[in-house]
Amino acid sequence: MVHESAYVDDGAVIGENTRVWHFCHVLGGAVIGARCSLGQNVVVMNKVTIGDNAKIQNNVSLYEGVELEQDVFCGPSMVFTNVYNPRSAVSRKDEYRRTLVRRGASIGANATIVCGVTIGRFAFIGAGAVINRDVPDYALMAGVPARRIGWMSEAGYRLTPVVPATGSDVEILRCEGTGALYERRGDVVVRQEEQ
């Protein structure tokens, strides 16, 4: 479904059951997966890839170099950049940096993602945060610049310790919403397989 006020340029690839809402512009080199939603006033530039089931809220621009894996959520008016040191009078189109948002990550409203970083799987970026370095899987990030303040589950709930870290820096975490268990070793969190 493409709203009559939206522009989709020739060459753009849009998957099944994707919705492109009011005043969007999808450029010809963009590839958008199935079951996505692009809210009002979203711009998707050339060479941007969006995986299946992504939700892009109002007023988000995805510039060249941005890649979203499946199930990514981008909150209203969050910002991606693609040049680290822009100047109006200096062309830096050959310096675009890749920004990768891994599967299941959520980015809150008005957050800023400085180009060249990777946001890990199921990470959660708080509203208004500024991300200027890579983010581990499952990390809960907040602040300017953002710092890790906790861990989040795949279901979007904060993880709480069941077995606190000991001298080995290993702890078992539980999802407050589903009860699923995760194991943290240092800055690496993995979901424990169901027994």
Cα-based distances in Å from 167 to 151, 170, 171, 188, 194: 20, 8, 10, 16, 26
Please tell me the predicted confidence (pLDDT) of residue 35. Answer: 98
Q: How many Å apart are CA 82 and CA 118, to the nearest integer?
A: 13
Q: How many Å apart are CA 76 and CA 110, to the nearest integer?
A: 7
The pLDDT tens digits of the residues spanning 6-47 come to 999 999 999 999 999 999 999 999 999 999 999 999 999 999
Q: How many Å apart are CA 144 and CA 131, to the nearest integer?
A: 8
Q: How many Å apart are CA 135 and CA 101, to the nearest integer?
A: 10
pTM: 0.94
Please tell me the predicted confidence (pLDDT) of residue 195. Answer: 31
Rg (CA), the chain: 18
Q: Are 119 and 106 in contact (CB under 8 A)?
A: no
- Segments of the chain with pLDDT less than 50: 194-195
The pLDDT tens digits of the residues spanning 100-112 come to 999 999 999 999 9
Please tell me the predicted confidence (pLDDT) of residue 167. Answer: 67
